[in-house]
Chain A
Amino acid sequence: MEYLTVHSPILIVAVPLLAAFITPLISRIGNKFRDTVNVSLLSFVTFLIVILTIDIYANGTRVYTLGASVPELALPENYMVPVRIMFQVDGISIFMGLTTTVVALAALVYSLQFVKNETGQDRFYSLFMLLYVGMIGLEFTGDMFNLFVFLEILSIAGAGLASYRVNMADAVEGGFKYIIISAVSALFVLFAIGILYSEYNLLSIAALAHSMQFTTLDLIALALLAIAFVMKLAGVPLHMWAPDTYAVAPAGITPMIYTSSAASMYALYRVTFTLYGGHFDTTAIGWVVIILGVLSMFIGVMMAIHQTDIKRLMAYHAISQSGYMLLGVGVGLAVLTDPVALANYGRDAMNGGIFHIINNALYKGMLFLTAEAIFFRIGTRDLNKMGGLGHNMKWTTIFFIIGALAISGIPPFNGFASKLLIYESVFRFNPLLSIIAMFVSLVTLASFTKVFYSAFTGPEMPAFKEVREVPRSMLIGMGIMVACIIFFSIFPGLVVDTIVAPATDALIDQASYINGVMGAVP
């Protein structure tokens, strides 16, 4: 057990990587065998994540150095700087890892039946695992260059999967938009890494944060990194790819790509809080994040209202919900240097923003899955052509209702818990922002009511008389997410205290991240 805990950071990355590359081989034995192996390997990774989570909440940041005699040894003997590749897992990393893994497990189980009749299933599962590796690596990595590498793995796998259904012209177009955005943003990240390396001769995030001087070049690097990550997380001025890609990606992949934008959001937080935090007044950058968040919230939901394509509508809502996360954490960033305000409301705002990440990955992912379940059965995403589906797809209807209520922030669902945290704390920072957030929430409810009425209620339509409930694995996939949503809805306080608050502390406490690596340096 101890051995597993020590080596879990690398195993969590290595096992899915292995799964990705043995998938084409083992599928020669049989599709069923391949599915079993993939699901059991991902379950094993989930188990490792749980072990690592328990360990990190008990003992704090865990560093895993590749090639060192002892994995915890970040600095080689007689060296002042870390030169080895390392994973550094702290509260926020493992929080994101947990989110990613739950979504990936649900999406994988859902996909089992979904792609059953498609060609190229081996490649689907290979890329799926690579996408998972990209996300988890991005969240665990301790140095800037591996952040770039995992960002690229995530992008290439994500774009390949988004255009998986190449027989549909729009799928290719959505995938192409995604890969362009990803390529440009990854090259921006690499350029920024080059600038940072030229100044400090370092790649490790902790060591860079330790010696950050905050010169003009650093500012340029920060701007490049921020633009790149906002592009990837579909914040509003740079959101144009998201509806296209989310709408056309196959089910199971849409939640994954959505979670990968949350991983980019993690990277943005990591850079602003850990890499640049503590050296300067973060109020300005905090306000930039807040404004991005408010714009995303408002424009996202306004664009969603008039959509008739169900997945496109949900994609705009996804952009809108990302705004809440940016708003909550942006408020925390704006008051980071002010201990009183931070203790009063900044920490709560960040708790809300971070709690919203996992909530949203769950219910938004689930809503995407229900939308695709409808598409699976009736072959259209156009809301105007749907109707009366509630008669035949009872489970899907129930899941949709739960998701829609959660996303609109209706008590007692988990969306309400995180939104309430954001409203309360942001109100004390700036009442106007809080009012906009509540308004957006109302419009979200209105929009989902429209979807519910046009898709599920009404008399049974003759064209859909033969429509049946989706196969069992798809129901199980959605059920995993619903179970998590209900658990989070019943015990929001417990969840905030046990997994969200350590994540917030990990972001605020820059010193402990640095000490995790540079501890030996006087």
Chain B
Amino acid sequence: MMQYIPYNIPFIAVALLMGVALFIILFKRNLIKIIMGIAILGAGVNLFLVTLGYRAGGVAPIYTVAPEGVMVLPVPQALTLTNIVITVSVIALMLTMVMFTYRHMGDIDAKKSRLLRG
């Protein structure tokens, strides 16, 4: 039992990050905080993907100069890279929208910016 715990620490971190992120997205009203929630959610998913690909003592998956031994999985790293790029662009877009909301409403509290209701 005990020897598995070090391997599971990243997964526990993933669960914590995603839980915190979902809490923030659902219950915070400040738009900037909601964006932070999305960023944390993205980070949680990235950590999950990288951890999946990790092999203890593995080397970088480059075939040309690979030393003996196991390699870490390359595909999850490619997925992570793509996701980092996408998350950055989503966050940039959201920040522009918050900027415009602030210009119109003078506030970034989701409670007060309720033009669309009912």
Residues of A near B86 (CB, < 8 A) are: 149, 152, 156, 186
Decide if A197 touches B52 in the complex (CB within 8 Å): yes
Known contacts A183-B90, A184-B41; A176/B98 CB under 8 A: yes
Interface string of B26-51 (1 = CB under 8 A from A): 00000100100010011001001100
What is the predominant secondary structure among interface residues of chain A facing chain B? helix
Decide if B94 touches A145 in the complex (CB within 8 Å): no
Decide if A198 touches B94 in the complex (CB within 8 Å): no
Residues of B near A183 (CB, < 8 A) are: 38, 41-42, 87, 90, 94
Decide if B97 touches A190 in the complex (CB within 8 Å): no
Known contacts A175-B97, A179-B90, A180-B34; A170/B116 CB under 8 A: yes
Residues of B near A350 (CB, < 8 A) are: none
Chain A CB within 8 A of B12 CB: no
| Residues of A160-198 whose CB lies within 8 A of B | 160, 163, 166, 169-170, 172-176, 179-180, 182-184, 186-187, 190-191, 193-194, 197-198
Most chain A CB within 10 A, of B31, B49, B89, B93, is at: B93
Decide if A179 touches B25 in the complex (CB within 8 Å): no
Band of interface residues on A: 35 or more
Chain B CB within 8 A of A247 CB: yes
Which of B18, B34, B76 is close to A197, meaning CB atoms less than 8 Å apart? B76
Which of B52, B79, B93 is close to A160, meaning CB atoms less than 8 Å apart? B93
Residues of A near B73 (CB, < 8 A) are: 201
Chain B CB within 8 A of A203 CB: yes
| Measured CA separation A187–B75 after assembly (Å) | 17
Known contacts A152-B86, A179-B93, A183-B38; A193/B100 CB under 8 A: no
| Residues of A294-313 whose CB lies within 8 A of B | 306-307, 312
| Measured CA separation A159–B87 after assembly (Å) | 14
Chain B CB within 8 A of A353 CB: no
Which residue of the partner chain B has the closest CB to A174?
B116
Interface size on B, residues (CB 8 A): 33
Residues of A near B5 (CB, < 8 A) are: none
Decide if A152 touches B90 in the complex (CB within 8 Å): yes
What is the predominant secondary structure among interface residues of chain B facing chain A? helix
| Residues of B71-95 whose CB lies within 8 A of A | 73, 75-76, 79, 82-83, 86-87, 89-90, 93-94
Which of B45, B82, B89, B101 is close to A172, meaning CB atoms less than 8 Å apart? B101
Residues of B near A173 (CB, < 8 A) are: 101, 113, 115-116
Chain B CB within 8 A of A244 CB: yes
Decide if A243 touches B97 in the complex (CB within 8 Å): no
Chain A CB within 8 A of B111 CB: no
| Measured CA separation A328–B46 after assembly (Å) | 37
Decide if A184 touches B38 in the complex (CB within 8 Å): yes
Known contacts A172-B101, A184-B25; A248/B49 CB under 8 A: no
Residues of B near A159 (CB, < 8 A) are: 93, 97
Decide if B116 touches A244 in the complex (CB within 8 Å): yes
Decide if A187 touches B41 in the complex (CB within 8 Å): yes
Which of A169, A180, A187, A248 is close to B104, meaning CB atoms less than 8 Å apart? A169
Question: What are 16 A-B interface contacts by the 8 Å CB criterion?
Answer: A149-B86, A159-B93, A169-B105, A169-B115, A170-B116, A172-B97, A179-B90, A180-B25, A180-B38, A190-B79, A191-B45, A194-B48, A194-B52, A194-B79, A203-B75, A312-B118
Given contacts A145-B79, A169-B113, A173-B115, 16 further A-B contacts (CB under 8 A): A152-B90, A156-B93, A159-B93, A159-B97, A166-B100, A173-B101, A179-B97, A180-B94, A186-B86, A191-B48, A201-B73, A244-B116, A247-B116, A306-B118, A307-B118, A312-B118
